[in-house]
Amino acid sequence: MKNTKDKIDEAKRASGADSCVECGRCVAVCPMAEMYANFSIEMSPRGIIKKTLMGDPVVEDKNIWYCTECNAGTDTCPQGVSCRDLIRKLREAAVDENLLENAKTCKCCGRAFVAIPVEDFVFARLKDEPANVFGVLDICPPCRREIYLLRNA
Residues that bind ligand SF4 (CB under 6 A): 20-26, 30-32, 45-46, 49, 67-73, 77-79, 81, 83-84, 87
CA distance 60 to 56: 10
Smaller CB separation from ligand SF4, 53 or 139? 53
In the complex, the smallest distance separating the C-beta of residue 107 from ligand SF4, rounded to whole angstroms, is 26
In the complex, the smallest distance separating the C-beta of residue 117 from ligand SF4, rounded to whole angstroms, is 11
In the complex, the smallest distance separating the C-beta of residue 52 from ligand SF4, rounded to whole angstroms, is 11
In the complex, the smallest distance separating the C-beta of residue 26 from ligand SF4, rounded to whole angstroms, is 3
**What DSSP element (H or E) covers 79?**
none
Residues 48, 22 contacting (CB under 8 angstroms) = no
In the complex, the smallest distance separating the C-beta of residue 75 from ligand SF4, rounded to whole angstroms, is 8
Smaller CB separation from ligand SF4, 121 or 143? 121
Smaller CB separation from ligand SF4, 7 or 65? 65
* Sequence-ordered list of residues with C-beta below 8 angstroms from that of 11, at least 6 positions apart, any chain: 17, 52, 85, 86, 89, 90, 93
* Sequence-ordered list of residues with C-beta below 8 angstroms from that of 63, at least 6 positions apart, any chain: 42, 43, 47, 48
Closest by CA to 63, choosing from 13, 9, 117, 104, is 117
Smaller CB separation from ligand SF4, 53 or 143? 53
CA atoms within 13 A on the CB side of 124: 8
Smaller CB separation from ligand SF4, 73 or 117? 73
